[in-house]
Every structure is written in structure tokens, then in C-alpha cells.
Amino acid sequence: MIEVVDGQRQLNACKRIVVKIGSSLLTANGQGLDLDAISHWAMQIADLHTAGHEIILVSSGAVAEGMVRMKLTSRPTDLPSLQACAAIGQMGLIHTWSSVLEKHHIQTAQVLLTHDDLADRRRYLNSCDALQNLIDWRVIPVINENDTVSTDEIRFGDNDTLAAMVAGQVHADLLIILTDQQGMFDSDPRSNPDAKLLTEVRALDDSLFEMAGGGGVLGRGGMVTKVRAARLAAKSGCPTLIASGESDRVLSRLMSGEMLGTLFSTDKDRMTAHQQWLAAHLQTAGRLIIDDGAVEAIKERHRSLLPVGVKAVEGHFDRGDVVECVDKSGKRIAVGRVNFSSQSADIIKGLASDKVYQVLGEARSLEMIHRNHMAIY
């Protein structure tokens, strides 16, 4: 939970942050990408990066840039034209981000995802591995939806949802959605001049949808998609801040604790929420019998399960499936996403970590189950 002390949000513990910036903040009134605006964002992102934060950037603007490059006066309505615009504009979008952040000696990486990538287990795990390596290398991933291969109609609000899914995927401490609105109001400020800005709401409060409105010219997202995104992030235990990107130095001010925008709080902390999600919503595909040392490491020290602590493997499962960990008496100790198939797990059970590569030839992970993907009983 994010506390407020002396009128300041306490965000010091938020190290890994997903930042989503909307089209209206990156384009010059629809006339393509605004280099000055993006340079301004790059400076703020660089400040957070230098301060030790791990930044994952979700950037809109590809379709808007593609429209300008193709001299289109209105947003296409058919899917192939939208996809073509996105493909053309993505070239300019990623080049711009790369060039402005490079001035701050920050490397960037283009990551294009679809919702199918995050729904499919294998693709999800592969993208998890890639993103984690980029973060470890202090590279800032610049993420956008892979509109060219999307099967659904491209919507402006999709990147809000994508940002929330990425926040859950990388176990972010905070999701910041920057928009042209100040935050969440108790009613539509465009029709009610007395509408009040809410400084904090409960993300899973159903009444929030009644307060949300529609979208604008370049996009059709509005506050509704942002509320949905905040709810999705909250289910992974990640709080969301929605604030106006038009406020001066908004990222720095938000992270210093200033009460800008609206905080969508979670009911539980990240680990508890993630544990409940694993424990309550996923069936186990197999079983790992673990020794007393592994039981102690997991329960007392909240450590990952290593192959050396596995005594036996039961069932048939693939990498990424959820399995249960039990002690020698059969008592359930934990459940989690396993990093090896049952065949590989059976081969490396009982082995020290430095032997895993030698036996399998390659391995994406040294942990049988990482502690971030484990629910402890």
C-alpha cells in the first residue's frame, strides 16, 4: 500500500515503473510526432533512470505519425489501413525515442506485443525473459502494440490495457498513465464545472465506471480504458497513477510525492495479490517433491526453488505450467510456474545449479520455480 505522510505520497519503494504516454502528449496537434515534447519526456525519464528507477515505457503515437507521413487528413476506419499507418508510423516513433534517449546515454529497445503474446504461455514466458534481460542491462524497453498483426480493431485505449498487462508481467511497483486529463473526477468535468478531482480511489471499485467519459480525435480511449487498465494492474498487485502529462515536470513531481493526479490503490500488496492469483485461479499440472532444505528456504526465507532441492517429479507438464511443491509427507508447501518441462525437471532434479547447463546444454533459468512466480502456503 502507498501511504500518504504529511501530504506526500510515499513512492520511494517504487523501483520498477511502467510509464504509458498517450498520443496527445507526443504529437503536435495531430501533425506528427512532436520532437520537442518527446525530448522533454526523455529528460524526465532519464532523471528517473539516473536515480536508479527501472523504467519500462509504453508509447502511443504510431498511427498518428503514420497518418502524417502518408498525408492523411483523417484516421482510417478500415483495419488494413490502420495497420499500414501503424507500421509506417512505428518507424518514426522508435527512431525518435532512440535518438532522444541516446543523448542521455540510455540505450533503448523496441518491443512490439499483442494481447495474444501475453495470453499464450510460451510467448508470454519468452517475452518475460527478454524484458527482464533488458531491465538487467539498464536498457529502457519502448513497448507498443504490434498493430500490424492485430486481429481486432485498433483502438487508442489498447495501450492502456497493454501497459497494465506489462506491469503485471514485469512485476512493476507502479504504473503511471499520462494523459491530457488531470486524473479521475467524481463526475465529467466537461459537463460539470463543480466536478472534484479524486486524489485516491480503490481500483476495484465498480462505481468508477459511472464517473468515466469518452475519447478524442486521434484516439478513442478516454477515462474508461484507463479505469479498466488500473483494475487489471491492481489484480496483479500494482497500483496505478493517472495524471496529466501537461503538468510541468510531472514524472519528477509524482515520484517526489506531490499529490498530482489520481492514485488507484490495490487491496493487497503485490506479492500477496500474485500469490492469491496463483493459488486460487490456476490448476496444477504436476507435482515436485522437495527436501527439507528447500522447504525451509521457501517458507522461512522466501527463496526460489532450485533443482538441487527437488527429490522427485510427478505428472506431465511443460515449461510455464503451474505445479505444486510438496514435502516428503505430501503436504503442500507452494504452487508456482515451473521453468522446466517435466522431462527436463526429472533430468536435473537434485543437481546443483552449475550442473544444469552441462546436463541440458541450455537453460533459460537456473531456478526450478522463481520466487516471484510462487504462492507459498
- Binding-site sequence positions: 20, 60, 147, 159, 179-180
Within 13 Å and on the Cβ side, how many CA atoms surround 77? 0
Closest of 277, 270, 208 to residue 242, by C-alpha = 208
How far are the Cα atoms of 77, 115, 322 from residue 376, in angstroms, in the given order?
49, 29, 13
Q: Which residue positions form the known binding site for substrate? A: 60, 147, 159
Sequence length of the chain is 377
How far are the Cα atoms of 13, 39, 110, 240 from residue 256, in angstroms, in the given order?
12, 21, 29, 16
Sign of the CA dihedral running 195, 197, 202, 203: positive
How far are the Cα atoms of 17, 181, 187, 242 from residue 226, in angstroms, in the given order?
17, 11, 15, 8
Cα–Cα distance, 252 to 50 (Å, whole number): 12
DSSP one-letter code for 11: -
DSSP one-letter code for 277: H
DSSP one-letter code for 193: T
Amino acid at 369: I
Per-residue cell: 286:
504436476
Amino acid at 250: V
Per-residue cell: 179:
494523459
Cα–Cα distance, 49 to 68 (Å, whole number): 31
Cα–Cα distance, 238 to 50 (Å, whole number): 23
Within 13 Å and on the Cβ side, how many CA atoms surround 81? 9
Cα–Cα distance, 337 to 277 (Å, whole number): 12
Q: Which residue positions form the known binding site for ATP? A: 20, 179-180
| Helix or strand (DSSP H, E) at 14 | none
Backbone angles phi, psi at 18, to 5 degrees: -95, 125
Q: What angle do CA 250, 256, 257 make, to 5 degrees?
A: 95
